[in-house]
Amino acid sequence: MRYFDVVILGAGPAGATTALALRKFHPHLSVVMVEACDYQTQRPGEILTKEAIPILQQLDVLDFFLEQNHPQWQTAPRANDEATPTREFGAAVDLQQGWQLDRTRFDGMLAGYAAASGASFIRASMTEARFMTDNSWQIVTQSALHSRLLNTAFVVDATGRSARFAGEIGVPHAAHDTLVGVGRALALESEDPSDDAPLIEAFEHGWWYSAPTADNRLAVVAMTDADICKRLQLAHTARWSELLQAAPQTQRRVARLKVAGDVNVRAAHTRSLRSCCGKNWLAVGDAATSVDPISAHGIARALRFGMHASDAIGGHFGDRRSSLGNYEALVHTEFEQNLSLRADIYRSESRWENAPFWRRRHHISSSTPGGWAQWKSTLTVSNGLAGGGLRAAEQTAWAPPRQ
Ligand SMILES: Cc1cc2nc3c(=O)[nH]c(=O)nc-3n(C[C@H](O)[C@H](O)[C@H](O)COP(=O)(O)OP(=O)(O)OC[C@H]3O[C@@H](n4cnc5c(N)ncnc54)[C@H](O)[C@@H]3O)c2cc1C
């Protein structure tokens, strides 16, 4: 059994940034990243917004990022006009400048530099977490070859939306909607620069999103609620193509392209842990709070909160007693701001007020009167999307974390 001061579970953008920042700002702490994947499979999230730049700079990896040559786009703001009726909704999202990320290379680069800066790296899945009587954790990891036992004073859950560690120790989470992305990749042939920018287009049942990917394909995704997806049979390729007709700009964009893959459905709901830290653990990135992809800030915020997490952990080991509490407050304040932004963006669309997808979003509160503490007690709690539809988020009593 090996001991590390900090075990980071998951080395996506949030976990790798936490590791990098710990090595840079708190180099006396020993750190290990445990990552289940080998960075070969593409993952959702093609857009990196410019907010990421100062963070990459602070972590001394901006030059390495720029050397990766991810395609960049920049578009001039466009005015509303009758011919392009979706602009109101799309214009509420700041997608005028950014990079089309190759996530496998980007995530691999961050984890690689964290390892080069002195963090250990284990390619395995966390399968079990045990809280010991001396206040330490034992983490069981499993790889294709063997299982391993790690002993640590502090655990970081950076396992993304699954929040695998928090789930393991019994921390409940709240689902705020049941958004899913039903997507397909199309082979891109055109060199037309107008094809470069991401496009968001509202339709009766949600919104379509399309953006070129780094491997010269166009990712085309219909975002809707799980029950609507089921009712419309959107996961069937023929129905997906049929519904594309409701989005003329997106349809025009894909008309000349070859289909390169089957339809796949991914969870994209807004969710939050009831508590994103305990006595000697914290959750970061999507594991703590996952936001609606309409904001296109998921990766940038994972980087930002990786920095905050490192600061909180440094404070915890340095006996700054308030550091974890401050981190929790920061995560929840940002999440509330995100809910507010999400509500404003959805309210900018007024064409289908009676359609279930839009009605649900027009009637959510953009603020949380009384603050997070009061508001979270009214949330519906769910373990995911099982069962489909809004009923998936059924009322359950809050249970205290097992730790
Ligand atoms: C459909 C969709 C489209 C999106 N588009 C965008 C976009 O264009 N731009 C944007 O900025 N954001 C986008 N996002 C959000 C973005 O993908 C996430 O916010 C971001 O990836 C969060 O980073 P993370 O490190 O917290 O989690 P993740 O990127 O999910 O990383 C978690 C890591 O943990 C590992 N892991 C999981 N379980 C275990 C385990 N048990 N043991 C060890 N390792 C484990 C995983 O392999 C993974 O590497 C989108 C999301 C969705 C659903």
Same domain for 127 and 276, yes or no, is yes
Structure-token pair, residue 33 = 């990243």
pLDDT given for residue 371 in this prediction: 41
Residue 396, in any domain of the structure? yes
Same domain for 9 and 144, yes or no, is yes
Atom number, ligand 1, closest to the C-alpha of residue 15: 25
Same domain for 133 and 215, yes or no, is no
As for ligand 1, residues whose beta carbon falls within 6 Å of it are 9-15, 34-37, 43-47, 125-126, 158-160, 162, 164, 181, 221, 266, 268, 285-287, 293, 296-300, 302
Distance 134 CA to ligand 1 centre (A): 33
Distance 268 CA to ligand 1 centre (A): 10
Distance 14 CA to ligand 1 centre (A): 8
Residue 401, in any domain of the structure? yes
Atom number, ligand 1, closest to the C-alpha of residue 46: 8
179-187 and 217-225 beta bridge pairing: antiparallel
Give the Å distances, CA to CA, from 154 to 32, 121, 165.
11, 16, 12
Same domain for 23 and 58, yes or no, is yes
Q: Which segments of the chain have a pLDDT < 50?
A: 79-87, 193-194, 367-403
Give, for ligand 1, the residue of 286, 305, 308 to mutate: max count of ligand atoms closer than 8 Å to Cβ: 286
Structure-token pair, residue 126 = 């966390």
DSSP result, 157-195: E--GGG-HHHHHTT--EEES--EEEEEEEEE-----GGG
Helices (H) and strands (E) in the chain, counts: 13, 19
Q: Are 43 and 215 in contact (CB under 8 A)?
A: no
Helices marked H in 155-297 — which ranges? 164-168, 226-232, 237-243, 248-254
Atom number, ligand 1, closest to the C-alpha of residue 290: 19
Q: Whose CA is nearest to atom 12 of ligand 1?
A: 298
Same domain for 171 and 217, yes or no, is no
Residue 31, in any domain of the structure? yes
In tens, the pLDDT along 352-369 reads: 999 999 999 998 655 444
Same domain for 242 and 256, yes or no, is yes
Same domain for 362 and 280, yes or no, is yes
CATH number at residue 187: 3.30.9.100
Residue 114, in any domain of the structure? yes
Domain end call among 267, 284, 314: 267
Domain end call among 267, 296, 329: 267
Q: Whose CA is nearest to atom 18 of ligand 1?
A: 298
Structure-token pair, residue 264 = 């796949």
Distance 162 CA to ligand 1 centre (A): 9
CATH number at residue 22: 3.50.50.60
Residue 64, in any domain of the structure? yes
Domain end call among 225, 243, 267: 267
Distance 12 CA to ligand 1 centre (A): 6
Residue 295, in any domain of the structure? yes
pTM of the model: 0.88
Same domain for 170 and 185, yes or no, is no
Distance 319 CA to ligand 1 centre (A): 31
Question: Which residues constitute the domain of residue 189?
Answer: 179-267
pLDDT given for residue 392 in this prediction: 29
Q: Which of 137, 68, 145 is nearest to 107 (CA)?
A: 68
Distance 325 CA to ligand 1 centre (A): 25
Same domain for 354 and 235, yes or no, is no
pLDDT given for residue 401 in this prediction: 35
Q: Which of 36, 2, 11, 72 is nearest to 212 (CA)?
A: 72
Same domain for 7 and 116, yes or no, is yes
- Please state at what angle helix 103-116 crosses helix 13-25, rounded to 10 degrees: 20
Same domain for 183 and 172, yes or no, is no
Residue 83, in any domain of the structure? no
Total of domains in the chain:
2
pLDDT given for residue 286 in this prediction: 97
pLDDT given for residue 80 in this prediction: 47
Same domain for 14 and 152, yes or no, is yes
In tens, the pLDDT along 186-233 reads: 887 655 544 667 889 999 999 999 888 877 788 899 999 999 999 999
pLDDT given for residue 2 in this prediction: 93
Residue 39, in any domain of the structure? yes
